[in-house]
Amino acid sequence: MTRAVPEPRQTLDPEMVAQWLVRHPDFFVGREGLLQQLRVPHPEARGATSLLERLVADLRTRAEQAEWRLEQLLESARHNEAQYRRTRELVLGLVEAEDRDALGQALATQFGERFQTPALALWCPAGLTDREPHPPQPPRQVLDDHVAQRLSALLDGRASRCTRLTPTDWKRLIPHVPAPDTAGSCALTRLTLGEPLGFLVLASPDPEHFRASMDTLFTEYVGDLVARLLVRLAPGNG
């Protein structure tokens, strides 16, 4: 007599089960007792918990994640609003300047009070100042070839850049502000409006204040604004 060979045990594919349940969302209707019997791994501890408890835990986690994302969005909105207000006050302070010295002073005041930038220099070539009755007053400086070459070297072919500033370069580029004992940092931008108009140097004794990885879009924006104001405030254009 031939012994019957048992059929191999078949195992359900978890993915097929999951797809079937998705296609039959009413499967548990009338089978609520089955739901209470199902046990699933606990998300935070060893052992198992009921399916309903696991669902509650998952919902709580999702709620916490949603709350964190909302707080991040609110924080970003608060930062953007503060940045907008600082930029608005900066622009209004600059456009109210009556001459180039006042423009330089407004730059120093606005950046010092609103952007924690304690030092800056506005370098303009002699051609932009030789028709003025008085020498430029700091932070405005007369640009010579030596300073222009050093600023161009620091920019390294770019329109704007953030970089370290050695005490030697500080004394050369921010001559009206005492240099720190160690390296600081600066944001440089070239001022142009059809022709070279000079350079704007924003500096801090903190070497991490202007990091090389920082975006320079805002610095370029300020440079574009300052260039236009320099032309508008040129002697004879009043």
Q: How sure is the predictor about 49, in pLDDT bands with cuts at 50, 70 and 90?
A: low
Q: By percentage, how much of the chain surpasses pLDDT 90?
A: 61
Radius of gyration of the chain (CA): 33
**What is the per-residue pLDDT for 96?**
96
Higher pLDDT, 17 or 61: 61
Q: How sure is the predictor about 9, in pLDDT bands with cuts at 50, 70 and 90?
A: low
**What is the per-residue pLDDT for 124?**
93
CATH fold of 98-232: Beta-Lactamase (3.30.450)
Mean pLDDT of 213-228: 95
Cβ-Cβ contacts under 8 Å for 105 (sequence gap 6 or more):
97, 137, 139
Q: Which H or E run contains 46?
A: none
Q: pLDDT tens digit string along 65-89?
A: 999 999 999 998 998 899 999 999 9
pLDDT of 230 over the 70 cut? yes
CA distance 180 to 184: 7
Q: Where are the domains of the chain?
A: 44-96, 98-232
Q: pLDDT tens digit string along 15-35?
A: 887 788 788 878 777 776 776
Q: Mean pLDDT score of the chain, rounded to an integer?
A: 87
φ and ψ of 65, to 5 deg: -65, -40
Higher pLDDT, 8 or 167: 167
pTM of the predicted model as reported, rounded to 2 decimal places = 0.71
Alpha helices in the chain (DSSP H): 14-23, 32-37, 51-95, 100-114, 145-155, 167-173, 217-232
Burial grade of 29 (CB within 10 A; 0-12, 13-18, 19 or more): exposed
CA distances to 76, 79, 93, 139 from 219, rounded to whole Å, are 21, 18, 16, 17
**What is the per-residue pLDDT for 12?**
74
Mean pLDDT of 121-148: 86
**What is the per-residue pLDDT for 221?**
96
Q: Residue with structure tokens 């079937």?
A: 20
Q: pLDDT tens digit string along 176-204?
A: 999 999 999 999 999 999 899 999 999 99
- DSSP labels, 111-160: HHHHS---EEEEEEEGGGTTTSSS---TTEEEE-HHHHHHHHHHHTT-SE
pLDDT of 103 over the 80 cut? yes
**What is the per-residue pLDDT for 10?**
65
Q: By percentage, how much of the chain surpasses pLDDT 70?
A: 83
Higher pLDDT, 112 or 133: 112
Mean pLDDT of 138-152: 95
Structure tokens at 66: 């949603």
Structure tokens at 55: 């669902």
